[in-house]
Amino acid sequence: KKKIKKSCLTPQFSFTPQRHHPANSCLLPICSLHGAAVTTVEGVGSLKNRINPIQERLAKCHGSQCGFCTPGMVMSMYALLRNHVKPSMEQIISALDGNLCRCTGYRPIIDSYASFAKQTCCQLRGTGQCCLDQEELGCSSSIRSGLCNPAEFLPVDPTQEFIFPPELMRMAQEQQRKTLIFCSKRTTWISPSTLKELLELKAKYPKAPVVVGNTSLGLNKNDCDDYHPVILHPLRIPEMQVFSITDDGIVVGAACCLAQLRDILMETIPKLPEEKTKIYQALLQQLRTLAGEQIRSMASLGGHIVSRGSAWDLNPILSAGKSVLNLASDGGKRQIFLNDQFLAGHKHADIEPKEVIVSVLIPYSTKDEFISAFRQADRQKNAFSVVNAGLRVLFSPGTDTIVDLSILYGGIGSTTLSARKSCEKLIGRQWNDQMLSEACKLVLEEISLPPSASGGKVEYRRTLLVSFLFRFYLEVLHGLHQMYPFRYAELSQDKMSALGVLQSGVPQGTHSCLQDVDPGQSPQDPVGRPIMHQSGIKHTTGEAVYIDDIRPVDGELSLAVVTSVKAHAKIKSIDISEALQVPGVINVITAKDRGVIVSMFFHWVMYVGVLQVICVGQIICAVVAETLTQAKCGAKKVKIVYEDLQPVLTIKDAIKHNSYITKERKLEKGDIEKGFKSADKIIEGELHMGGQEHFYLETNSVLVIPRMEDKEMDVYVSTQHATDVQKLVASALNLQSNKIMCHTKRVGGAFGGKITKPSFFAVIAAVAANKTGRPVRFALERDMDMLITGGRHPFFGKYKVGFMKDGRIMAADFQCYINGGCTKDESELVIEYIVLKVDNAYNIPNLRVRGHACKTNLPSNTAFRGFGFPQAGLFVETCIVAVATKTGLPHEKVREINMYRGVNRTAFKEKFDAENLWKCWKECLVKSDYHSRNTKVEEFNRKNYWKKKGIAIIPMKFSVGFNATYFHQAGALVHIYLDGSVLVTHGGIELGQGIHTKMLQIASRELKIPLSYIHFCETSSTTVPNGKYTAGSVGTEINARAVQDACQILWKRLDPIRRNNPKGKWEDWISEAHKKSISLSATGYFKGYVTDMNWKTKKGHAFPYFLYGAACSEVEIDCLTGAHKNIRTDIVMDASFSINPAIDIGQIEGAFIQGVGLYTLEEIYFSPEGEQLTLSPDTYKIPAVCDIPEQFHVYLLPNSCNSIAIYSSKGVGEAGFFLGSSVFFAIRDAVAAARKERGLPLDFTLNSPLTVERIRMACDDIFTKMEDGNMDPGLVITWS
């Protein structure tokens, strides 16, 4: 399985010519690196030696938060700059295609790397004016955020970079004609130097795979049983690296990587007559979106062809273009067409076992030939195609009479499929509407996709077949008009809008309205300033240590778990005997090893003495071994016999079976029956919303080290709640908590997913360590983490809304359901928060909300950023849109008429002032130029039938914190040492939100000393006990109050010393205080905000305070494919006084992009048996660089204050998430425009996530109606 690791990108120098390749280290066999110079992030730069300008700029531009992805970002940019000293912004964006970040929202990363780009002006789309002259826009190669100072950047000096080691050059020359052989116990790796030798080896070992980039074999490797005795590596063979231009076309070596192919085509196309380059342009179009740069730099053309994957984008167009494979064996050479029969594996058209592909001839196109390639994926870049296509037509010279036709599709069957019979029937036909109609019918009949087809999305995929065909038809008509303008008519504006695919432009940096600090504030006082993340440089150099970076401890063991394959079943027997026989396996840990607490973790359910499992992914036992590979092999040998029980999987199943985790939560306001009677109209509807994976880049990890005496244990764990880890581990081992020392330096992302779950993983490792007496490391791999841990709760809501003709809502009755999974976890709190927050910014006078947390046989869902509000907010906004649609009023007017005004009370009687809500709303209308842009959107939509734009503006009232006082308590410990240096510790945990950075800023202000004097070590239960979990947007401010308290205590102790020596230095004061026996250590404590919620009286002061905001987003959709691009987003956030604007803006942006993922991209699938099918980055798509708005602006509301929090700040960590729904409703606005033009009903509901499939099928047209399909019964979305 693909793993994401923090330093997985290594530029590689190939033999000749020398070139830097970014690569995924987990796919690189060590043997393939013989003779190569490998540079990892540590080699780019380090604090021990020097940092590279790439690292420095990324840190200073605030391009890291949790930092786990940062070394990968550095390596991608490093490889690019070594190949292109002054890259274009397009090259920079392309270089980042294969990198994922879950924290930042990408904007600051792009901002930092824009400083390396060519200084090319955008010229404002042909106006001749520079965008730098415009107030609202920033030039694509400039930094406009105001959060960093480019004048401080280190200069770029390419002469200071490493040269290719001369000894490797000598070695390459000496070994040029030598065969390289590497042997292990099971596998022999052979790298021949000549084609003749390769063919001899292939004849001797016909089953041996030929490996170049290892992007296919590497992803499918099995650690235990699946291996290849011989592997052949042909990278040094000149004939397989060839590139030449011949009379017939371009010949490309089979071992050329896809990035090389792209570069070859980009260089060659301008040199050839345009009529010859049609296939090359189509290939280049596909290569721009195929995979990421790391894969493109390693995957070979021959490997791409011969692996024949259904979703492989190049094969359909290579086949349509009549490409030829040049084959060789020890028996001679031959050529075969890369056609549909080859791709289908027909024996007479396939490669023989002893043959290899040496090169590929890609022929020129001709004047009367048209070739196009299409693809549609769940994400624009670095995602497998849902459907791809290669289409070619050859006309009789000077006519539109079809002489030859090729139509091939990928993503439909197990390999690329050809509509060969359809094409044969269309030979001789003219290229007109009648031909198109018949072609669509023939293709749908020939390309079979039954309702039960693997992968689901049947109706959508069949629609894409004819949508692509229609687009090709129009492209050809347009081409014919350009060739013969007097013979063929120009396309109408409506049809012209179908041409071209949506491609996101170069993102432009934010133009943030930053706060001004008090003119009288000391320059040394860092509060309110955009201070760089405390670990920012270490993030970029790879020196920031995460749990799995801790070096192996003497005697350390590895652990792997055995999980249930059944959603609900009795366990008849568990046989661990074979596992114990695996070499290196030390023991197998089961629930019987340590009493009741461990049994609770393993979720064993006892019914009349019978053990049961209650979800797929439930941990049954754990295997401990000398190495991780041995532990995984042992886990596969455990035999479990089940007896199936009937599972409950969906919310509707749970409702049917009355399966709930908690009692109903209910709130009422006003007189709902009276309200409905007074309404002019009443509407009812439903909303389904899928779940979401946390997809933190650092998976759950723990290292447990038992000490030699007193049964003490050190637990190094990636968690948001160290106290819970300490408590559960101590209970499991029947020890007092004071024997368990928990340590967390930093966490590589969490978002709520590491509150409850890490404690259980720590228990397993601790029990194993206790049983074996040796240290145990347990780091989950990506697929296992996604399988076990659960995520955001899927949501189902039913609404009934009564309203007046002017849009005023008089009454609303909401029923809200969430899928809690198999245990309680945080589901009770989540459903409570949904009930409390569902009104969002709207004052509904008569309201009833009922909430249910459903119990199902899915992995237990848990806390996630926003904690129920993203579901509740989308639900109520859907109601607002429904009212606006029924009344025919503009959506923003219906929002305004229903928004809270002035001092008001919530449904649970908490008092608040909505003044800043309206300030944010009005400011957002102005900053976004909403009304003017809305007019332009309407004008665009009138002119374009197949592409539509949409715009939406969304208000937000977000409650910060928890509804119980004890959740807000915090502690801190501050030491002052004799040299004047200060050590700060507190109970909060660094998750990427910059909590430690802000603590240092606060300590600096309170003690009036420079930041350089202050250090933070780690969060530990040994220094600050009983810390609450870091979550709810308040982790920083409550721990800040504790740090402030400790610092003020120390400052007060120093009062006599300062009075006696007012002009003395800090160091003098500390030395004197020590001589006076004044304690230089202080404990700080914050009792917490007073909150409460009484569910019996339905009243309470549930939250410390409210935060307000608004967002406006504009999008464009492709009605033929469902693709969309985010054009612009403006966010106004009421952050009051920001302790660190750079960190807070980063949190807003990162949360927003994560919200865009929830609402438009991220989709979880389960099988009918309850097994999650989306368990990797291949199948689960989070937002990438291509998904951020082209213009992304964040404004902090000026002149705002918050008397409750420290320094009048507000917690902004979660609030930006819901504002991602502005993209959802902008898409809906665009879909509504398409439906209106087609005469379709406008009172439609779009469920979340609003994926390409849902967008396309909502734009109902002739192509969606051509064939009715059904969803794959093998796929069940959890909210269904």
Separation of alpha carbons 1057 and 306, rounded Å:
79
313 is in an annotated binding site: yes
Instruction: Answer whether 902's CB lies under 8 Å from 915's CB.
Output: yes
Separation of alpha carbons 1199 and 1033, rounded Å:
21
Token pair of 48 as six digits: 């021990």
| SS3 category, 454 | coil
Separation of alpha carbons 315 and 149, rounded Å:
47
Helices in 102-223 by DSSP H: which ranges? 107-114, 166-174, 195-204
Omega of the bond leading into 583 within 30 degrees of 0 (cis) = no
700 is in an annotated binding site: no
**What HEC string does 465-495 produce?**
HHHHHHHHHHHHHHHHHHHCCCCCCCCCHHH
867 is in an annotated binding site: yes
| SS3 category, 315 | helix
Separation of alpha carbons 186 and 821, rounded Å:
43
Of 568, 759, 557, the closest CA to residue 657 belongs to: 568
Separation of alpha carbons 912 and 896, rounded Å:
18
Which residues is 1094 bridged to in the sheet? 1099
For residue 392, the Cα-to-chain-centroid distance in whole angstroms is 36
Separation of alpha carbons 461 and 440, rounded Å:
14
Phi and psi angles of residue 445, each rounded to the nearest 5 degrees, phi first: -75, -35
1214 carries an active-site annotation: yes
DSSP string, 896-956: HHHB--SEEE-TT--EEE-HHHHHHHHHHHHHTTHHHHHHHHHHHHHH-SSEEEEEEEEEE
Of 832, 687, 706, 821, the closest CA to residue 770 belongs to: 706
Give helix 107-114 / helix 53-60 axis angle, nearest 10°: 130
In sequence order, what are the residues at sequence separation of 6 or more whose Cβ sits closer than 8 angstroms to the Cβ of residue 1071?
A: 978
Of 939, 985, 915, the closest CA to residue 1136 belongs to: 915
In sequence order, what are the residues at sequence separation of 6 or more whose Cβ sits closer than 8 angstroms to the Cβ of residue 776?
A: 556, 557, 558, 559, 624, 703, 704, 765, 766, 768, 769
| SS3 category, 823 | coil
217 is in an annotated binding site: yes
212 is in an annotated binding site: yes
Can you tell me which residue has the tokens 């379709």? 1240
Determine which one of 684, 1214, 1237, 1267 is catalytic.
Answer: 1214
Separation of alpha carbons 706 and 733, rounded Å:
12
Sign of the C-alpha dihedral computed for residues 748, 750, 755 and 761 taken in this order? negative
Half-sphere exposure of 936 (CA within 13 A, CB side): 10
Q: How many CB atoms lie within 10 A of CB 345?
A: 12
Phi and psi angles of residue 1112, each rounded to the nearest 5 degrees, phi first: -120, 125
214 is in an annotated binding site: yes
Amino acid at 1075: K
Beta strands 230-232 and 188-191, pairing class: parallel
211 is in an annotated binding site: yes
Phi and psi angles of residue 324, each rounded to the nearest 5 degrees, phi first: -125, 135
Separation of alpha carbons 286 and 266, rounded Å:
13
411 is in an annotated binding site: no
582 is in an annotated binding site: no
Instruction: Answer whether 469's CB lies under 8 Å from 440's CB.
Output: yes
596 is in an annotated binding site: no
375 is in an annotated binding site: yes
Separation of alpha carbons 640 and 566, rounded Å:
11
Phi and psi angles of residue 593, each rounded to the nearest 5 degrees, phi first: -75, -25
Separation of alpha carbons 430 and 403, rounded Å:
10
720 is in an annotated binding site: yes
215 is in an annotated binding site: yes
Separation of alpha carbons 363 and 900, rounded Å:
66
Q: How many CB atoms lie within 10 A of CB 913?
A: 13
* Binding-site sequence positions for FAD: 210-217, 313, 375
* Binding-site sequence positions: 26, 66, 69, 101, 103, 210-217, 313, 375, 720, 751, 865, 867, 1032
* Binding-site sequence positions for Mo-molybdopterin: 720, 751, 865, 1032
User: What are the residue numbers of the active site?
Assistant: 1214
* Binding-site sequence positions for [2Fe-2S] cluster: 26, 66, 69, 101, 103
